[in-house]
Structure 1
Amino acid sequence: MRHYLTAALVLGLMGCGGSGGDSSSPLPSPGPALEIQAPATAAVGDAIALVARPVDTSSTDWRYRWRQTAGPAVNIANTISPVAAFDLPEAGSYQFEVSVTDGAVQRSETVDINVQGLGTGFTVTRDHAVVSGGRVSLRVTALEFDENFNLTAPTGILWQQTQGPSVSDMDSRNPLLMTFTAPRVTQDTLLTFEASGTLDGRTVSDEIQVLVRATPAPVEDAFFDTPVARVEAYRPDSPWASAMERCVYNNRISTPCTVESLPLIGQTTNTTTIDEVMDRVLVSHPWMGEQFERFLREQDPSGDFLHLLSSVTAVVLSYDVRPSFYWVATGAIYLDPEYLWLEDWQRNTINEDPDFRAGFGSMLAFFMPWRYVSGDEYASLYYPPQFHLNRPWQQLTPDLASLLYHELAHANDYFPRSTHSAIRAATLVEEYFTRVDNQGLPSDQLSQTLPLFSEQMSGLAEVRFRGATATDLQKSYTPDDVAGFFFPDRASDFYGYSSEREDLAMLFEEAMMWERYGIRRDVAVTGLRSDDRAQDLLVAQGQRGRIGQAELAPRLSLVLAELLPEAESIVDGLPGPVPMRSGESWWDNLVLSEEAVMERDLSPVKAFTGPQALPLEGRTHFGPRHASPVALPAR
Structure 2
Amino acid sequence: MQLVTGLSAHSVRVLRTSLCALSLSILAACGGGGSGGGDDGNNPPISQRDRLTLSGDSTAEIGDSVGVVATLSAQGYTRFEWEQLAGPSLGDLAGNGTGGISFDVRTSGNYSFRLTASDRNGNSVQDTFDISVSPDSNNGQVQLRADRAVSEGAEFSLRLNATSYNGSVNSWHFEQLSGPSASMEEDDSEQPVLFVTAPQVTGDQVLTFKATLETSAGSYSDIAYVVVQDRPEVTSEYFCLGDGDYCGTTAALNNVYSYRADSPYRDYLADCVYSNQLGDDSLCTLEKLPVIGMQSGAPTVDQIMDHVLVSHDWMGARFEQFLNELDPHGDFARLLRATTAVVISSDIRPSFYWSLTGAIYLDPDSLWLSPKERDVINEQPDYRSGFGSDLNFVTPWRYVKNNNYVFYGYPVSQRENRPLREIEADLGSLLYHELAHANDAMSPAKINAGLDSSDIFFNQAQSGAVVNESVRAVNTPQSSELFALADVRYRGVEASALQRLYDAGDIAGFFFPDSASDFYSYTTPWEDTAMLFEEVMMSMRYGIQRDIAVTNSPFSPRSGDDYVVAQGQRGRIGSTNIRARATTAVQGLLPEAWAEAHAHLNSITPVAMCVGEGWNQNLTPACAGQSGVLRYAAPEPSRAAPMPTDRPRSFIPPTRF
Query: Does TM, scored on the shorter chain, surpass 0.5?
Result: yes
Q: Report matched runs for 1:227-626 at 5 Å.
A: 227-255=252-280, 256-421=283-448, 422-424=450-452, 426-435=455-464, 440-529=465-554, 530-531=556-557, 533=559, 536-569=562-595, 570-574=597-601, 575-593=604-622, 601=631, 603=633, 606=636, 609-610=638-639, 616-618=640-642, 620-626=644-650
2:116 pairs with 1:99: yes
1:196 aligns with 2:221: no
> Contact between 1:159 and 1:195, CA under 8 Å: does it hold in 2?
yes
Q: 2:80 and 2:196 mapped to 1: Cα distance? A: 25
For the residues of structure 2 that align with 1:447 and 1:287, how far apart are their CA atoms?
A: 40
Instruction: Describe the shift of the 1:596–1:353 C-alpha distance in structure 2 as closer, same or farther (beyond 3 A).
Output: farther
Q: Deviations over 1:507-527 (max 9, x none)?
A: 000000010011100000001
Q: How many Å separate the matches in 1 of 2:288 and 2:531?
A: 32
Letter in 2 for 1:585: G
Aligned letter for 1:310?
R
Q: Distance in 1 between matches of 2:168 and 2:229?
A: 33
Paired letter, 2:176: Q
Give the drift of 1:106: 3.3
The one-letter amino acid paired with 1:82 is G
Do structure 1's residue 178 and structure 2's residue 194 form an aligned pair? Answer: yes
Q: Tell me by how many angstroms 1:224 deviates.
A: 3.8
Distance 1:92 1:518, change over 3 A: same
Q: Which amino acid aligns with 1:164?
A: G
Deviation at 1:399, TM superposition (A): 1.3
CA distance in 2: counterparts of 1:396 and 1:594, whole angstroms: 32
User: Offset at 1:199?
Assistant: 4.4
Deviates more, 1:90-99 or 1:40-49: 90-99
- Identity rate, percent: 39
Check 1:62–1:377 CA distance in 2 against 1; reply closer, same or farther (3 A cut).
closer
SS where residue 140 of structure 1 aligns?
Answer: strand
The answer (yes or no) to whether the contact 2:56–2:68 under 8 Å persists in 1 is yes
Distance (Å, rounded) in 2 between the aligned partners of 1:161 and 1:625? 32
Which SS does the other structure have where 1:139 is aligned? strand
Deviations 1:134-189 (A, max 9, x none): 002000011569xxxxx987432121111011224433444500012100111111
Match of 1:57 in 2: 74
Q: Retained in 1: the 8 A contact 2:203–2:230?
A: yes
| Cα separation, partners in 2 of 1:400 and 1:242, compared to 1, 3 Å | same
Residues 152 and 199, structure 2, Cα contact 8 Å, conserved in 1: yes
Q: Is residue 529–residue 585 contact of structure 2 (8 Å, CA) maintained in 1?
A: yes
1:628 corresponds to 2:648: no
User: Counterparts of 2:506 and 2:524 in 1: how far apart (Å)?
Assistant: 22
Per-residue displacement from partner, 1:539-577 (whole Å, max 9, x unpaired)?
010000100111112111211111111221223323111
Q: Secondary structure at the match of 2:377?
A: coil
- In structure 1, give the amino acid aligned to 2:514: D
Structure 1 residues 297 and 595 mapped into 2: Cα distance closer, same or farther (>3 Å)?
Answer: farther
Q: Given the alignment, which residue of 163, 180, 191 partners 2:178?
A: 163
Distance 1:600 1:213 in 2: 61
Partner Cα distance (1:505, 1:130) in 2: 33
TM-score by length of 2: 0.85
- Determine the C-alpha separation between the residues in 1 that align with 2:317 and 2:625: 39
Q: 2:97 aligns with which of 67, 70, 80?
A: 80
Letter in 2 for 1:321: I
CA-CA distance at 1:449 after TM superposition: 4.0
Letter in 1 for 2:158: L
Structure 2 regions of 5+ residues with no counterpart?
Answer: 1-46, 242-250
Q: 1:210 to 1:553 in 2, by over 3 A?
A: same
What is the alpha-carbon distance in structure 1 between the residues aligned to residue 611 and residue 379 of structure 2? 35
Whole-angstrom distance in 2 between the partners of 1:483 and 1:202: 53
Distance in 1 between residues matched to 2:127 and 2:305, nearest whole Å: 30
Between 72-81 and 412-421, report the one with greater CA deviation: 72-81
Is the 8 Å Cα contact of residues 342 and 390 (structure 1) preserved in structure 2?
yes
> For residues 104 and 344 of structure 2, what CA distance do their matches in structure 1 show?
23
Q: Given that residues 125 and 140 in structure 1 are in contact (C-alpha distance below 8 angstroms), is that contact kept between their aligned partners in structure 2?
A: yes
Question: Using a 3 Å threshold, how does the CA distance of structure 1 residues 596 and 92 change in structure 2: closer, same or farther?
Answer: farther
Question: Taking structure 1 as reference, are residues 172 and 163 closer, same or farther at Cα in structure 2, changes over 3 Å only?
Answer: farther
Cα 1:486–1:387 shift into 2, 3 Å:
same
CA 1:504–1:175: 2 relative to 1, 3 Å: closer
Would the alpha carbon gap of residues 532 and 117 (structure 1) be closer, same or farther in structure 2, given more than 3 Å must change? closer
User: Take 2:630 and 2:638, find their aligned partners in 1: how far apart are those partners?
Assistant: 14
User: Residue 80 of structure 1: SS of its match in structure 2?
Assistant: coil
Q: CA deviation at 1:452?
A: 1.1
Partner of 1:111: 129
Name the counterpart of 1:134.
Answer: 154
Q: How far 1:116 sits from its partner (Å)?
A: 1.1
Cα offset, 1:268, TM superposition:
1.4
Return closer, same or farther for 1:99/1:543 CA change in 2, 3 Å cut-off: same
Any idea what SS the aligned residue of 1:236 has?
Answer: coil
Q: After superposition, give the CA deviation of every residue in 1:254-292 in whole Å (9 maximum; x if it has no partner).
A: 122211111110011232111111111100011111111
Unaligned runs of 5+ in 1: 1-28, 146-150, 611-615
Per-residue deviation, 1:618: 3.6
> Which segment drifts farther, 488-497 or 75-84?
75-84
1:209 deviates by 1.2
Task: Using the TM superposition, give the Cα deviation of residue 617 of structure 1 relative to its aligned residue in structure 2, in angstroms.
Answer: 3.8
CA distance in 1, matches of 2:330, 2:308: 18
Mapped contact 2:368–2:374 kept (Cα < 8 A): yes
Mapped contact 2:491–2:654 kept (Cα < 8 A) = no
Q: Is the 8 A contact 2:71 2:206 kept in 1?
A: no
TM-score (norm 1): 0.88
Aligned-partner residue type, residue 113 of structure 2: F
CA–CA separation in structure 1 for the residues paired with 2:655 and 2:172: 41
Greater shift after overlay, 39-48 or 191-200?
Answer: 191-200
Aligned Cα root-mean-square deviation (Å): 2.4
CA contact 2:58–2:130 (8 Å) conserved in 1: no
Q: Whole-Å Cα distance in 1 between the matches of residues 620 and 599 of structure 2?
A: 26
Structure ranking higher on relative contact order (CA contacts 8 Å, 6+ apart): 2
Q: Shift of the alpha carbon at 1:121? A: 1.7
CA–CA distance in structure 1, aligned partners of residues 569 and 611 of structure 2: 10
8 Å CA contact retained: 2:69, 2:147: no
